[in-house]
């Protein structure tokens, strides 16, 4: 959990709340064609979009301490979401980050900032050692995010997650606290100035 919002410029991350379900539902339905090629599915089952169920599951993971769920706002408008899953402490001290953004907000630089804020939070506030992001090889927009942040590529997870009706391969990207060397926001700003 976070006590307040994480913010940089026009991008703000705040903790997901039950009341976000209606606005999330609206955005998920509006951008269905844009988002569905990248969304996890259950083999053999096609569910309608149900943001209330999504929010409920994410808040349950957060209460258990195994996940975090953030709303991404751009200029005060709900633009997308970042979810942190599989949070482990102790000898592993790691987590996985997943994200999506609405079509109207894509390509405006919000997602690299949101991911940078999330990774900084996980290292600085949650004291994790490693953060992983898994991306389908065909998802050029998500690949640009980890490229801008300078995450290290570790390999390929074959048939890793059921997405859009099939088991899909994912490229593995990660960063450890030792590799970060300063904040992820500073790292992102350095790539813009080069």
Burial class (CB in 10 A: 0-12, 13-18, 19+), 144: middle
What is the Cα–Cα distance from 159 to 138, expressed in whole angstroms?
14
Residue 43 resides in a domain: yes
Residue 172 resides in a domain: yes
Q: HEC profile for 48-115?
A: CCCHHHHHHHHHHHHHHCCCEEEEEEECCEEEEEEEEEEEECCCCCEEEEEEEECHHHCCCCHHHHHH
Residue 82 resides in a domain: yes
CB 128 within 8 A of CB 172: no
Which letter, b or e, does each residue of 37-73 get, where b requires 16 or more Cβ atoms within 10 Å of its Cβ?
A: ebeebeeeeeeebebeebbeebbebbeeeebbbbbbb
Residue 84 resides in a domain: yes
Residue 103 resides in a domain: yes
DSSP H or E run through 184: helix 184-193
Q: Using alpha carbons only, what angle is made at residue 144 by residues 112 and 26, rounded to the nearest 5 degrees?
A: 60
Residue 65 resides in a domain: yes
Provide the pLDDT for residue 25: 93
Residue 1 resides in a domain: no
Quick: pLDDT tens for 33-88: 999 899 888 787 766 778 999 999 999 999 999 999 999 999 999 999 999 999 99
Say which CATH number the domain at 53 has.
Answer: 3.40.630.30
Quick: pLDDT tens for 83-128: 999 999 999 999 999 999 999 999 999 999 999 999 999 999 999 9
Number of structural domains found in the chain: 1
Residue 26 resides in a domain: yes
What is the Cα–Cα distance from 152 to 168, expressed in whole angstroms?
21
- Domain housing 71: 6-193
Provide the pLDDT for residue 41: 83
């Amino acid at each position: 959990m976070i006590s307040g919002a994480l913010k940089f410029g026009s991008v703000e991350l705040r903790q997901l709340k039950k009341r976000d379900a209606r606005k999330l539902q609206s955005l998920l339905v509006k951008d269905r064609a844009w988002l569905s090629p990248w969304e996890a599915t259950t083999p053999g089952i096609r569910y309608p979009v149900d943001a209330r169920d999504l929010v409920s599951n994410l808040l349950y993971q957060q209460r258990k301490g195994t996940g975090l769920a953030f709303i991404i706002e751009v200029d005060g408008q709900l633009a997308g979401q970042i979810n942190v899953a599989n949070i482990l402490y102790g000898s592993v001290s790691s987590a996985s980050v997943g994200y999506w953004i609405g079509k109207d907000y894509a390509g405006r630089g919000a997602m690299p900032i949101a991911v940078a804020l999330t990774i900084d939070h996980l290292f600085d506030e949650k004291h994790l050692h490693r953060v992983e992001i898994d991306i389908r090889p065909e998802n050029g927009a998500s690949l640009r995010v980890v490229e801008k942040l300078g995450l290290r590529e570790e390999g390929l997870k074959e048939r890793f997650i059921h997405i859009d009706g099939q088991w899909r391969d994912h490229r593995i990207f990660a960063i450890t606290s030792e590799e970060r060397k300063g904040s992820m926001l500073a790292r992102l700003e350095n790539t813009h100035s080069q």
